[in-house]
Amino acid sequence: MVIDFFDSPQKMGISDGMLVRLDRAREKNTLSPDLLPYLDLIESSEIEMPDAVIQIDGRAVMYLVKPQVLGGDNVDSARLSSLVRVLACRGDARYLGVLNPGCLAIYPIGISSQAPSRLDEISLHSGNTALHDLLSGQNKQKTQVSPDIKNADSSWLDAFLFNLLANTAEQLRYSCSGLSDSEILSLIGRCLFVRFIADRKIISDKVAKIISPSAGSLDELLSSPESVSCTFKWLDQTFNGNILPLSAAQVNQETNYTAFFKSLGAEANIACNILNNIMRRAPAGQLQLFWDGILFQHVPADMLSQVYEHFAHAHQSDHAKSTSIHYTPRHIAQQLVDAAFAGIKRSDKDQAKVLDPASGAGVFLVLALKRLVQENWKRTGIRPSRHTIRNILNNQVYGLDINHESLKFAALSLYLTALELDPEPTPLEDLRFARLSEKTLIYVGEDSEILKSSSCILDRKLGSLSEHFVLPEELSRGVDLVIGNPPWTELGSTYKPKLDQQIRRIANSHKIDNSLVAQLKVDNGVPDIPFIWRALEWAKPGGMIAYALHAQHLLFRQGNGAIMRKALFQCLQITGILNASALRNEKQIWPNITAPFCFLVARNERPTIDNYFYYLSPAREKHLNDQALFRVDPQAATSISHIYAAYLPWVFKALARGSSLDLEVTAKIAGIALEELQICGDTRAVYGVENNDTRRNREEISSYWERYNLKNRDGVQNPSAKTFKNAIHLHGLPYLARHTTHEHAINTQRLPKFELPKLYSNYEREVFSAPLLLFRESPKKNRDQRGAIVSYDDLVYRETFFGYSCAGHAHPELLAKYLQLISLSEVFTYWVLMTSSKYGIERDAILKEDVDAFPIVPLERLSNTQVEEILRMSEELYSGNMNWSDLDRFVGKLYGLNRADQSVIKDTLMINLPYSQNKDYAEARPEEELTDFVTECTRVLAPFADRAGQRLEVKIIDHDMQAWQFICVDLLAQNSPTPPDIYATLATDIANHFWASQIRFHATAGKVIIGQIAQNRYWTKTRARLLALDLLNNDFIKHGSEKNQHGAMQ
C-alpha cells in the first residue's frame, strides 16, 4: 500500500521524531529551538528550500523536497543544482530525497559543477525499509555501484574548504616571502570574516565605500593594499573583537595596516590579488569550484572551526604538533557535547558554564555556545536576542590553549557563531564584540602572563596542566562542564615527574589510599589522563566531565595504566564510556586518526558501591562508517559496575571484543569468580584491598618464572649512536632474526652465528639458555603459527620475539612443551584478544606483558595422565600431525571450560580476530550461520518447552527486507496466525529503534518474531544462546499463553 511519507514515515523504518518539518515553520512563520540548526534554510528567500530533513541522533542525513520545488514531474536540472549546492555548503546531510507520487528519488549531495545523477529510487509503500537500510549503511549494493556516491561524502565541505585554504596559504607563502605563517593564517581568517558577513548580507554594496573609499562594491574590498588596509581597520572599529591580530605581539593593540602592507613592498599587490579570490562570489545560477562556489550564508561556523584546526595542523605541522594543535571533526565534538549536556543536573542548563582546557580552534566551544543558546530558547520559550547570545558568549564559554594561533581562530569562530545565531544582525554600529582574548579565551603558553609566577620552565610549558595555573576569579567555584579533546601526544620523560606530582597531589586530596597514590605514574608523559585529574579541580562538585581520549591510555593499558584507572575511577562517577577503537582506521569517522579513541562522560562525584555505567563499543561497519556514522545500539550497551572497572584490568577490552559471556569465560580462564569479586566489593569500603582469594589454581607466567628464578626477556636490539653495550659474550650462538618456516621446533643448524659487537643494552648469557619458548611479537593469522616456537639449543633472538628460558626448572623440556601447546590453543589466542592493550586494538601485535599476564595452571598441579597427553600431543605437533580440536578440548578441560564456553571462544575468534578475513566475515550476510543459529536456539529452548507441555518450533522467515533476517519462535500449542500487516509493524519497530541490531515482535500469544541485522556477527551460536536465555528469563515459555504484547519491543 502506497503511503504519504510525511504522514507515516514509521511505516518505512523512519520514526516521527527523526523527521523535522521545515515547510510548516516556513508557512506558519513559527520557529522552535529544535529548528536552530536549520534557520538559514527556513529564513532564506534566495531559492526554494527543502521541506523537511531526516535526522539521526540530531544530525541531518537526508533533506526532503516535494517535486514542485524542483519544477514538477520533470526535475529542472538548474534548480536541482542550485539546491544541492546550498545543502552541500552546510556540510551535514549526505542525500537529497524528492518525494514523487509513490516513490522517493534520491540524489547525492556533493560538490560538482553540474546537476547530480539520481542515485536510487525507493517505493513509498508500507513495510518497505529500504530507506532505513540506506541511511543506516546497510544498502551495500547501492553505495557500491554509483560513482556519484564519492561526492556524497558528508565531510566533503571540510575537504573542499581545506583545499581552498591550503592552496591560498601556499600561494601566499610562495609569492610573499615577507609573510610569516602566523600572518598568513590571520590574513586568510580576516578575509573569511569579511566574506562571511557579506554573504549573510550583514554588509552590502551600499556600504562598500564607507568601509573602503577605493572600493566600488563588496567584491573590491580586498582588491588592493589600500582597500584591504581600510577594510581591516573598519573591522577593528566596527566589531572591536580583536579579530585575528596579525601577530601575538599585536593582541590588544591597534595595528597600522597601511604600514604593514607597505613593509611588504611589491609583494603587497601580489598578496592582495591572492586574498581577493576569497571575496569572489558566483554569478547567479553558475556552479563554481573555487572560492566563488562557497555560499557562506549556509556554512556553519563550527564547520569553519573544524576546517581551521585541520588546516593549521597541516600548514604549521611542526608547530602544531609541538603545541598540540589537534583536529576534532565537528560530528565527534557534537556527540560529546550532547552526551555531556544530557548529564547536567541543573534545570536552567542555559546558565551552565563550560570550559575546554585545550580548546584548539574552538569547535567544542562553538557547539557549546549553540547548545546554550538552544537551551535558553527551550527554557524561556523566546528566541534568544543578541543581548542574550552575547551574554552567554562573554560569560559562560571559556577556552584555554598554549597556542596563540588556535585561540585567534577560536575567537573568530565564536564571533561568527554569534552573528550566525543573531536574529537580526543589524545595524552595524550595534554589532561590537567584547574582546574574548581578555577574559574567556585564555593564553596559557610558557610566556603567558597567567603563568609568570612559575619559575620552572617545564611547569610553564604544561600550560593549563601547570601547578601554578588557576581558573579566573569568576570560575573559582568551578564550572558545570569541562569538555574537550586534550592532547594525546607523548611529552616524554622530561615532563613525567611534573605530571606524576600533579596527579598524586589531586589523588591525595580525594583521599585515595596512600599505597595506591604512591604507585601512580604517567606513562611516557602522555597528558590526556592528567587532564582528567585536573578536571576534578575545574568542575564543580556534581559537574560534568566529557573528553575524547586515546582509548588505549584510558581503557586498555595494563601495569601503570591499570593502577591509574583504578585510582581515577574512585574519584569519578562514570556515566558512560563509548569505545570507538574498532573505528580507528575509518577515515570518514575521524580523518587522519589511526589511534584508538573513546569518549568518557562522567560526573565529578565519588562513586558509591552500587554505581553502574553504560559501556558501548560500536563495531566496524564499512558502508555505515563511510557515511561518517556508526551504530549506537542501546541493546549492545553493557552495564558495568565500578567494582569491575577498578578490579578487572581487562574488563573494557573483553567487552569491546565480546559480550557478557566473554567476560565470564575470560574470568574462568583467569581463575576469578566474578560473584566473589562483587561480594568482596560489597563487604568492604569502595575499592579496598584486592581479594587475592578470588583467584583459583592459576599463576601468571611472570609470577611462575619469578618463583623458579627463570630468565625471560625481550629479544636483542641494535645499538644507537648514544646507547650501546658490549655483546661479545654472546658471539658464536645461533642467531634467530626471523622465523619463516612452519616448524615448531627451531633447527639451529640452519641459523647464522651471532656476531654483533654491541647491543642497545646488557643481556645476561642465561637469558638465551635452552629450552627456550619464543613468542612472536606479531602472531600470524594462520592457526599453526600464532603460538610459541621452541628451541632446544641455546640461541640469541631478535627483538621481534619474547623469550622465556625454561633452564633451571626441574622439568625444563616438559615445561617448554606444555606452554607451547597452551600458546597454540584457542584459549591462549582468545585470552590475548580479550586482554591485550595492543592486539586487536592498535596493531596486530602482542606485548610481552600480555604473555607475562597469561594465567597458567602450574605444571606441578597436572596429573600423570595430563602429562602423558602433553607428551603425546607435542610429538604430534613436531611430526606435523596435530589434531587442533583435541588440543582445544584438552586445554579447555584444563581450565574448567564447558562446551558452551568453548563455543563462545570459537565464535568470538571467528568474528573478532584483527585480520581482514575476520572483519569481512563479520559483516558478511549469514547463510549456513542462520541455520546453525536456529538449531542452537532450539537446542536450548526445547527442553523447557517440553517440561511446560508445549511444542516449540524455531524457523527462518522469508521476507523482503534485504538488510535483515528474521526467525520465528513459536509455541505451536497456541495455533494462532501471524497478523497480515506484519511487515508494516516490523518497519515501525525498526523506526522506533533505529540503531537497534535486534527487534522483537510478539505477533500473537506464544509467538515472537525476532529480527536481526543480516551480518554474521549477529548470528553466531553464542548470540543464539544469549537470545534463548533472555527469552527464558522473560518467561516466554512458562507464561507464553498469558502474554499478548502485540507490537511490543523487548
Q: What is the pLDDT of residues 707-765, one digit of tens each?
A: 999 999 999 998 876 778 899 999 999 999 987 778 899 999 999 999 999 999 899 99
Q: Do residues 88 and 218 both lie within one domain?
A: no
Question: What is the pLDDT confidence band of residue 99, given thresholds at 50, 70 and 90?
Answer: very high
Question: What is the pLDDT confidence band of residue 115, given thresholds at 50, 70 and 90?
Answer: confident
Report CA 416 to chain centroid distance, whole Å: 28
Q: What is the pLDDT of residue 668?
A: 93
Where are any strands of DSSP class E within 314-396?
Answer: 354-356
Q: What is the pLDDT of residue 906?
A: 96
Task: Enumerate the H helices of 1-38 as residue ranges.
Answer: 22-28
Tell me which range, 328-332, 360-364, 828-832, is most confidently predicted by mean pLDDT.
828-832
Q: What is the pLDDT of residue 292?
A: 76
CA distance 79 to 92: 20
Tell me which range, 224-228, 275-279, 455-459, is most confidently predicted by mean pLDDT.
224-228
Q: What is the pLDDT of residue 252?
A: 57
CA distance 308 to 325: 10
410 lies in a domain?
yes
> Residue 775: is it exposed, middle or buried by C-beta count within 10 angstroms (0-12/13-18/19+)?
buried
Among candidate residues 299, 320, 340, the one where a domain is terminated: 299
CA distance 37 to 886: 61
Amino acid at 26: R
Any idea which residue has 507520487 for its cell? 101
Phi/psi-derived region of residue 252, left when phi > 0, alpha when psi is between -120 and 50, beta in every other case: left
1038 lies in a domain?
yes
Between strands 801-805 and 712-714, the pairing is antiparallel
* 826-835 and 812-824 helices, crossing angle to 10°: 70
> Residue 773: is it exposed, middle or buried by C-beta count within 10 angstroms (0-12/13-18/19+)?
buried
The H helix count followed by the E strand count for the chain is 39, 29
Given a contact cutoff of 8 angstroms between Cβ atoms, the answer to whether 905 and 895 are in contact is: no
pLDDT at 370 over 90: yes
693 lies in a domain?
no
Any idea which residue has 524561556 for its cell? 380
DSSP 553: I
Among candidate residues 299, 322, 338, the one where a domain is terminated: 299
Question: What is the pLDDT confidence band of residue 338, given thresholds at 50, 70 and 90?
Answer: very high
Task: Enumerate the H helices of 948-1020 as residue ranges.
Answer: 982-992
Q: Do residues 150 and 182 both lie within one domain?
A: no
Amino acid at 326: H
Q: What is the pLDDT of residue 422?
A: 95
N- to C-terminal Cα separation, the chain: 28
Q: Do residues 93 and 241 both lie within one domain?
A: no
Q: Do residues 137 and 162 both lie within one domain?
A: no
Name which of 974, 979, 999, 976 is nearest 989 in CA terms.
Answer: 999
Given a contact cutoff of 8 angstroms between Cβ atoms, the answer to whether 773 and 788 are in contact is: yes
CA distance 809 to 813: 9
pLDDT at 538 over 80: yes
Any idea which residue has 603587497 for its cell? 268
Greater pLDDT, 1004 or 621: 621
Written as nine digits, the cell of 621 is 561497519
Our count of domains for the chain comes to 5
What is 444-476 written as a DSSP string? -STT-GGGTT---HHHHHTGGGSTT----GGGT
CA distance 272 to 231: 12
CB atoms within 10 A of CB 432: 12
Beta bridge partners of 320: none
Which residues, 6+ apart, have CB-to-CB distance to 695 below 8 Å?
670, 671, 672, 855
Q: What is the pLDDT of residue 961?
A: 79
575 lies in a domain?
yes
Q: What is the pLDDT of residue 696?
A: 62
Q: Do residues 138 and 282 both lie within one domain?
A: no
Q: Do residues 642 and 707 both lie within one domain?
A: no
Given a contact cutoff of 8 angstroms between Cβ atoms, the answer to whether 133 and 278 are in contact is: no
Q: Do residues 146 and 165 both lie within one domain?
A: no
pLDDT at 837 over 80: yes
Written as nine digits, the cell of 999 is 527487534
- The mean pLDDT of 112-126, rounded to a whole number, is 88
Domain with 746 in it: what CATH number? Answer: 3.90.220.20
Greater pLDDT, 960 or 151: 960
3-state secondary structure of 188: helix
pLDDT at 903 over 90: yes
Domain with 387 in it: what CATH number? Answer: 3.40.50.150
- The mean pLDDT of 967-994, rounded to a whole number, is 76
Q: What is the pLDDT of residue 603?
A: 97
Question: What is the pLDDT confidence band of residue 831, given thresholds at 50, 70 and 90?
Answer: very high
The pair phi, psi for residue 579, each rounded to 5°, is: -95, 110
Among candidate residues 657, 690, 719, the one where a domain is terminated: 657
pLDDT at 388 over 90: yes
Given a contact cutoff of 8 angstroms between Cβ atoms, the answer to whether 611 and 576 are in contact is: no
Which residues, 6+ apart, have CB-to-CB distance to 702 below 8 Å?
712, 852, 853
Range of the structural domain that residue 936 is part of: 923-1042
Q: Do residues 49 and 171 both lie within one domain?
A: no
714 lies in a domain?
yes
Q: Do residues 199 and 238 both lie within one domain?
A: yes
DSSP 556: I
Long-range contacts for 308-311 (Cβ within 8 Å, ≥24 apart)?
308/165, 308/189, 308/361, 308/409, 308/413, 309/360, 309/361, 309/363, 309/406, 310/158, 310/162, 310/591, 310/592, 311/162, 311/165, 311/166, 311/169
411 lies in a domain?
yes
Question: What is the pLDDT confidence band of residue 779, given thresholds at 50, 70 and 90?
Answer: confident
Cis bond leading into 771, ω under 30°? Answer: yes
pLDDT at 1046 over 50: no
Greater pLDDT, 459 or 311: 459
What is the tens place of the pLDDT at every residue in 121-162? 999 998 888 999 899 888 754 444 344 444 444 446 777 888
Any idea which residue has 553558475 for its cell? 286
Question: What is the pLDDT confidence band of residue 73, given thresholds at 50, 70 and 90?
Answer: confident
Task: Enumerate the H helices of 104-201 as residue ranges.
Answer: 130-135, 140-145, 156-175, 181-199
319 lies in a domain?
no
Any idea which residue has 569517522 for its cell? 589
CA distances from 20 to 53, 85, 297, 736 (A): 5, 21, 21, 65
Q: What is the pLDDT of residue 250?
A: 55
What is the tens place of the pLDDT at every residue in 205-224? 999 999 999 999 999 999 99
Q: Do residues 969 and 948 both lie within one domain?
A: yes
How much of the chain exceeds pLDDT 90, in percent?
A: 58
Question: What is the pLDDT confidence band of residue 395, given thresholds at 50, 70 and 90?
Answer: very high
What is the tens place of the pLDDT at every residue in 8-58? 999 999 999 999 999 999 988 899 999 999 999 998 777 789 999 999 988
Where is average pLDDT lowest: 94-108, 595-609, 680-694, 758-772? Answer: 680-694
CA distance 77 to 439: 50
Where is average pLDDT lowest: 163-172, 418-427, 942-951, 974-983? Answer: 974-983
What is the rounded average pLDDT for all residues in the chain? 87
Given a contact cutoff of 8 angstroms between Cβ atoms, the answer to whether 639 and 614 are in contact is: yes
What is the tens place of the pLDDT at every residue in 460-503? 999 999 999 999 889 989 999 999 999 988 888 888 999 999 99
Q: Do residues 100 and 49 both lie within one domain?
A: yes
Q: What is the pLDDT of residue 585?
A: 87
Given a contact cutoff of 8 angstroms between Cβ atoms, the answer to whether 636 and 599 are in contact is: no
Q: What is the pLDDT of residue 322?
A: 54
Upper half-sphere CA count for residue 80 (Cβ side, 13 Å) = 25
The pair phi, psi for residue 725, each rounded to 5°, is: -135, 155
Q: What is the pLDDT of residue 249?
A: 56
Amino acid at 136: S
Amino acid at 709: N
Q: Do residues 178 and 54 both lie within one domain?
A: no
941 lies in a domain?
yes
CA distance 786 to 744: 11
Report CA 468 to chain centroid distance, whole Å: 32
Given a contact cutoff of 8 angstroms between Cβ atoms, the answer to whether 978 and 1007 are in contact is: yes
pLDDT at 1049 over 70: no
Beta bridge partners of 672: 695
